[in-house]
């Protein structure tokens, strides 16, 4: 130690820091700045750890965050701490500013302390904004689009700023790399520089004591930083750390939504600390949007920075600075009010609630699919390679113009909800020309059958037994089914086992993958609906794989229902 001391003088520096006089003695009200520094250090440490597994690429970002979250040791915890740390910094910064305001610590000669502190708050907000996009999931992707759109409203330079941040006209790889570089290089460098200046100015002028005690009393109570004030700082830092751990543990880490999908219509919402601005924008529409997005926040920020020069009160006593304290209280109340209003508005919006439910569901599916590997094409490809998801999306995209499915879509073709399940077929045979079946098509010529319940059940079971070609049909069921086909005149129109008419769909392999695929590919074939068909052929509109995915999805639904 003596060797190190001789060369660095570190002990003297340490003693100087610990002996720093705290005017008026140690106070709990002085702890917020130290707590902020502590959380910032945690953010740096956790950020460096996360950076070892993160890939700032539009194709790899979501997958790398998934890997950190689910495949690395305690990755979920580190990411959760980093995520909650951003909120903790906002809360502590506001508390620190509040304490500074109440104590009048922004007044001469501490004007620069205040200004550097406000600039640091802007840096902290910048961390939140840039970090939000990095997972490249739905929430971050669309919320950041809103933020850059607001930036684009800046008079004169909006388009330039937006293009600079985005790296082009659209979101993509350059957007992500630029946000990443801001998040891990420019913003930390700026924050550290201003933090150094802020601490230097703080040490130069010392703490601003309570306004009541006189100089003699303050001098009498003055203590060194060590041990009392350091003890209080450490206690609060531990309390903040434990609180963050509890929140992270309760939430199971940080949220990771499904991969960003630029083709979706996601209703974006920012993080909680930007909700007040989001709500404010709702009151300024059209050409007035720039007022809520740029002018009012800029005026508010300028007034905060200029506060030391606006406040002309002769005393630090809060009651003698009522205009300043009142404006601060009103501003804080306004921010809280707008934030609450935004939350209330969303809680009553069925579109938002439905989207949240759907987002949670999609996030779980994405994680499950990612367990089998993430294709090189990127996060969203986990869905494209899943026939169940892809089949549903293709069905909704290409079929619901005419068909209905689970309450959505048209009504000019049979309802595909539980299509070809036993309940669906029982209902069909009871009333084949009902609107749910073929009543709204040209194929409304099939007669109703007044079968006994047991006979109807046997007929449906016989038909559905055709679906699985790998299983041999029970001889008794086959005999019963063929007899019912003959007794009820089904052979007049349908073909089965080489016998019967050709004016209705063939019943061999009924409801099988092959049968369903054939109808989707070309329903106008003679063995399906022939001249009565009005459904378009999809063999030239969709790939074989896409048709197979629709078949897989419908068959999966059928098997689950049966």
Confidence of residue 286 (pLDDT cuts 50, 70, 90): confident
The pLDDT, as a whole number, for residue 562 is 63
For the four alpha carbons of 105, 109, 115 and 120, in that order, the dihedral sign comes to: negative
The pLDDT, as a whole number, for residue 216 is 92
d(CA 231, CA 246): 23
Q: Per mean pLDDT, which range of 449-453, 456-460, 490-494 is the poorest?
A: 449-453
Confidence of residue 538 (pLDDT cuts 50, 70, 90): very high
Q: What are the C-alpha distances in Å from 270 to residues 277, 293, 343, 350?
A: 9, 14, 11, 18
Query: Helix, strand, coil shares of the chain as percentages rounded to 5?
Result: 65, 0, 35
Considering the chain, what percentage of its residues have pLDDT values greater than 70? 100
Terminal C-alpha separation, the chain: 78
Considering the chain, what percentage of its residues have pLDDT values greater than 90? 69
Q: In the predicted model, what is the mean pLDDT of residues 266-287?
A: 89
Maximum average pLDDT range among 36-45, 287-296, 478-487: 36-45
Q: 415, 422, 511: which is closest to 459 by C-alpha? A: 422
The pLDDT, as a whole number, for residue 500 is 87
- Tell me if 412 sits within 8 A of 435, measured CB to CB: no
Residue tagged 């201003």 (tokens): 194
Task: Say if residue 448's pLDDT is above 70.
Answer: yes
- Tell me if 86 sits within 8 A of 128, measured CB to CB: yes
342-360 pLDDT, tens digit per residue, is 999 999 999 999 888 989 9
Using CB atoms within 10 A of its CB, is residue 35 exposed (0-12), middle (13-18) or buried (19+)?
A: buried
131-165 pLDDT, tens digit per residue, is 999 999 999 999 998 888 888 888 888 888 888 88
The pLDDT, as a whole number, for residue 528 is 92
Cross-strand partners of 500? 495
Q: 130, 96, 83: which is closest to 244 by C-alpha? A: 83
List the structure tokens of 286.
């059209």
Confidence of residue 483 (pLDDT cuts 50, 70, 90): very high
CA dihedral 256, 262, 266, 271 (to 10 degrees): 50
d(CA 106, CA 148): 32
105-134 pLDDT, tens digit per residue, is 999 999 999 999 999 999 999 999 999 999
In this predicted model, which residue has the larger pLDDT, 28 or 157? 28
365-415 pLDDT, tens digit per residue, is 899 889 888 888 888 888 877 888 889 989 999 999 999 999 999 999 999
DSSP 260: P
DSSP 259: B
The pLDDT, as a whole number, for residue 373 is 85
Query: How high is the mean pLDDT of the chain?
Result: 92
Residues 6+ apart with CB under 8 A from 148: 162, 165, 166
The pLDDT, as a whole number, for residue 305 is 95
Q: 209, 203, 312, 242: which is closest to 84 by C-alpha? A: 242
**Buried/exposed 283-315: b ≥16 CB within 10 Å, e otherwise:** eeeeeebbbbbbeeeeeeeeebbebbeebeeee
Q: In which region does residue 409 sit, left (phi positive, over 0), alpha (psi from -120 to 50) or beta (all else)?
A: left
Q: What is the pTM of this model?
A: 0.79
501-534 pLDDT, tens digit per residue, is 888 899 999 999 999 999 999 999 989 998 888 8
DSSP 137: B
CB atoms within 10 A of CB 347: 9
Domains belonging to the chain, first-starting first, are 1-361 (1.20.810.10), 386-561 (no CATH)
């Amino acid at each position: 130690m003596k060797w190190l001391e001789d060369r660095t003088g570190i002990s003297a520096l340490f003693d100087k820091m610990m002996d720093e006089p705290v005017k008026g003695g140690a106070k709990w009200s002085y702890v917020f700045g130290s707590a902020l520094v502590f959380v910032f250090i945690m953010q740096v440490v956790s950020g460096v750890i996360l950076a070892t597994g993160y890939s700032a690429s539009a194709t790899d970002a979501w997958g790398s965050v998934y890997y950190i979250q689910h495949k690395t040791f305690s990755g979920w915890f580190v990411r959760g701490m980093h995520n909650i740390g951003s909120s903790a910094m906002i809360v502590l910064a506001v508390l620190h500013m509040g304490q500074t305001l109440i104590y009048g610590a922004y007044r001469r000669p501490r004007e620069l302390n205040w200004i550097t502190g406000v600039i640091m708050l802007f840096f902290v907000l910048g961390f939140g904004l840039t970090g939000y996009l990095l997972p490249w999931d739905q929430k971050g992707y669309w919320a950041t689009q809103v933020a850059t759109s607001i930036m684009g409203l800046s008079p004169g330079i909006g388009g330039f700023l937006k293009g600079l941040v985005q790296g082009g006209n659209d979101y993509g790889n350059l957007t992500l790399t630029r946000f990443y570089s801001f998040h891990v290089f420019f913003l930390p460098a700026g924050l550290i520089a201003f933090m150094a200046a802020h601490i230097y100015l703080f040490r130069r002028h010392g703490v601003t004591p309570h306004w009541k005690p006189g100089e003699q009393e303050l001098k009498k109570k003055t203590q060194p930083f060590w041990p009392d004030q350091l003890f209080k700082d450490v206690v609060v830092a531990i309390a903040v750390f434990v609180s963050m751990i509890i929140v992270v543990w309760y939430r199971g880490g940080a949220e990771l939504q499904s991969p960003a999908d630029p083709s979706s219509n996601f209703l974006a919402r920012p993080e909680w600390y930007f909700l007040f601005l989001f709500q404010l924008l709702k009151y300024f529409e059209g050409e007035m949007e720039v007022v809520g997005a740029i002018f009012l926040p800029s005026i508010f920020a300028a007034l905060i920075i200029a506060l030391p020069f606006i406040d002309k009160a002769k005393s630090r006593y809060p009651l003698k600075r009522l205009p300043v304290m009142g404006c601060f209280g009103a501003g804080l109340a306004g921010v809280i009010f707008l934030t609450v209003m935004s939350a209330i508005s969303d809680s009553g919006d069925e579109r938002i609630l439905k989207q949240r439910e759907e987002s949670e569901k999609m996030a779980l599916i994405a994680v499950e699919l990612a367990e089998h590997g993430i294709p090189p094409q990127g996060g969203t490809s986990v869905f494209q390679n899943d026939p169940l998801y892809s089949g549903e999306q293709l069905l909704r995209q290409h079929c619901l113009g005419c068909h209905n499915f689970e309450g959505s879509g048209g009504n000019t073709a049979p309802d595909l909800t539980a299509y070809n399940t036993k309940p669906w077929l029982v209902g069909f045979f009871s009333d084949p020309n009902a609107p749910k079946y073929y009543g709204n098509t040209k194929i409304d010529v099939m007669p109703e059958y007044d079968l006994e319940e047991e006979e109807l059940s046997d007929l449906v079971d016989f038909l559905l037994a055709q679906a699985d070609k790998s299983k041999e049909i029970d001889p008794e069921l086959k005999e019963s089914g063929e007899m019912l086909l003959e007794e009820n005149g089904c052979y007049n129109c349908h073909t089965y086992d080489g016998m019967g008419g050709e004016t209705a769909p063939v019943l061999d392999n009924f409801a099988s993958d092959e049968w369903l695929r054939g109808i989707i590919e070309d329903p106008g074939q003679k063995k399906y609906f022939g001249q009565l068909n009005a459904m378009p052929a999809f063999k030239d509109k969709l790939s074989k794989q896409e048709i197979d995915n629709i078949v897989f999805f419908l068959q999966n639904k059928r098997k689950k229902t049966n």
